[in-house]
Amino acid sequence: MVESDRDVELVVAAAGGDRGALAQLYDRYAALLLGVAQRILGSPREAEDLVHDVFLEAWKQAGHYDASRGSVRTWLLMRLRSRALDRKKSAANRAISMEAPGELAEREVSPEDPALAPDRTRVRRVLLALPLEQRAVLELAYFEGLSSSEIATRLGTPIGTVKSRVAAALSKLRAELGAGSREAGQ
């Protein structure tokens, strides 16, 4: 059985009231969600509260999960990211800290499913290969939830430049990550 199929079965079981299924999803994804939440919120305590809230929401909304729209992992991550950005935007604005190249590689990563380690390593390698300006706009968009105009204001850069950097970075990510998945399939 493919791991994602097992995840779908767990969500279906959770929708039917199976607490054990939810516990298995928690065991499988809590560390990953906690790492993302800490990165977005900057506070371990807030991150723990958010992960708890996301799993409660997943428990209540499990019956609405639609496998055709994405994996269970993606479903949980998108819920978490959305809630984290809502919390962050409701809090006072914080100054951005632009990471120097290499800090991304050194950042402590929460333990998660070892099967995901090769993907995480590959994505981190590709991100580190991006020019700092391109990586910064992607991080601001993803982790801060900023729009292109908000990024332009934050960085003091013309909006056209921000959009060009995002497009170039995404193009490089698609090319590199797509090439890696094609090589793995051969």
> Inter-axis angle of helices 117-129 and 159-185, to 10 degrees?
140
pLDDT for the residue numbered 85: 86
Domain 3-90: give its CATH code.
1.10.1740.10
CATH class held by domain 103-185: mainly alpha
> pLDDT means per 10 residues in the chain (186 residues)?
80 93 94 92 91 93 90 93 84 46 46 59 86 89 85 89 91 81 49
Neighbours of 158 (CB within 10 A): 10
pLDDT for the residue numbered 99: 47
The rounded distance, in Å, linking the Cα atoms of 186 and 80 is 34
The pTM assigned to this predicted structure is 0.58
pLDDT for the residue numbered 109: 45
Residues 126-132: contacts with CB under 8 Å, at least 24 apart: 126/172, 126/173, 126/176, 126/177, 127/173, 128/101, 128/102, 128/104, 129/172, 129/176, 130/169, 130/172, 130/173, 132/98, 132/100, 132/101
Give domain limits for the chain: 3-90, 103-185
Q: Do domains 3-90 and 103-185 have the same CATH topology?
A: no
pLDDT for the residue numbered 101: 46
